[in-house]
Every structure is written in C-alpha cells, then in structure tokens.
Amino acid sequence: MKTIGLLGGMSWQSTALYYRLINEETNRRLGGLHSAQIAMVSVDFQEVETHQRNGDWRRAGEALAASATQVEAAGAEMLLLCTNTMHKVADEIENAISIPFLHIADATAERIRQAGLTSIGLLGTQFTMEQDFYRGRLEQHGLKVFVPGAADREIVHRVIYEELCQGTIREDSRSEFVRIIKDLKSVGAEGVIQGCTEIVMLVDSMHTNVPLFDTTAIHAHAAVDAALE
C-alpha cells in the first residue's frame, strides 16, 4: 500500500474524519488488522483563517505549500488537502511537491457523474460557493452548478465557522441547512455537494431525501483507491 499524505487541521474536526474514514475503508478492503499508511501534517487553523479573512491568499498558499513539502518529506506518495476552501491555493501546493495531488473537486465530480447526475447544488464557505476555483472545476467536468442566494450563503458560511469548526451542532442550524438544500432542489439541483468538510457533521441522508455528496468521504475513498492501485 502506498503512503497517503494528509495536509489537515482546517479544521481538525474534519481532519479526524479523514483519518477515520481512510483507515476504515482500508480495513474493509484488506481485512484483518490492516490500517492505512498515512503521513500527516496538521496546521493551526487560526492562522489560515486569518489569511482567508484578510484576503491574503498569497501568504496562505505559501504556508500550505511549505507544509505540503513536510508531508512529502515524511514519506507520502500522494497528497490530499483536507479542506474544500483551501483548494483555492491548490496550484501553489501542487507546484511545491513532486507527488500526485488528489483534487477534492475532481473526485467529487467523478462520483456525481457516476451517479448519473448533471445538475448539482453546492454548499460550502462563501469562498467556495462564490468563487470560481471550485465551481469552475466542477463545471469543467460538465456539471451545472447551483448555489444558494446571498442571504443563505451567509447563513451557511456563519454556521461552518462559528459552529461546525468548533464542534458545535445546533438543531436550528440543521433545519436551516435542510431548508436550503430543499430550495436548491426546487431550482433544478438533482443532488447537493456538502462542499465543506464539516457539513457532514450537521446534515446527512437521514435529514433529507435529496442525494448528498459528502466530499470528505469521497476524497478519503479516492485516496484509498489510489493507495491500493
């Protein structure tokens, strides 16, 4: 098995999900006492969030690129960036390493196409929902992407940073997310991407009949696919 590299900490709650999902899937496939070979660097999310808030994506990219080289130096044979939003600086990270970079939007788009869908809703941080680095990547795979209206984008963004990234789960926030998902379906989305790695902590298939695409699980399983090739 190849060694999977994880660049995490954004937030640590979702990175913990990555670690668990990758090991569970590895054991499911190989059985016995097998677990995944993983090299990981986990960064301080406060520093990353400050760069996000200040719009200083250059410094954010430089910092994560440096951390990515640490993951490679630790023996990783591929790299996963354990966050959707920071794929905004994916090019900087990919240029800093010599190992394959598994892009979360590519893995997600492939799963959606396998499901036979072509129109998809996108939930995530405002950066992810509003900027082209993620939506554009999905559209390159032939998908039509819908996002919530401005007021609902603010709600989703606030819940992610003020609640989910701190491990807080609120029923009223879950109700709002379920409503927003329903609204996306009403305008033509055949399914919805949980395009922030923390959203799965709040909403899953038991809360809505709209097909959900959990980017954390999709990305984690894609890593196991690549590691066991």
Residue tagged active-site, from 26, 85, 165, 196: 196
Residue tagged active-site, from 15, 26, 83, 108: 83
Distance CA 47, CA 34 (A): 35
Report angle CA 109, 154, 57 to the nearest 5 degrees: 65
Distance CA 229, CA 218 (A): 17
Known catalytic residue at 83: yes
Please compute Rg for the chain using Cα positions. 17
For residue 106, CA distances in Å to 69, 70, 88, 93 come to: 22, 24, 14, 16
Number of neighbours of residue 165 by Cβ within 10 angstroms: 21
Report angle CA 44, 6, 60 to the nearest 5 degrees: 45
Catalytic residue positions, numbered: 83, 196
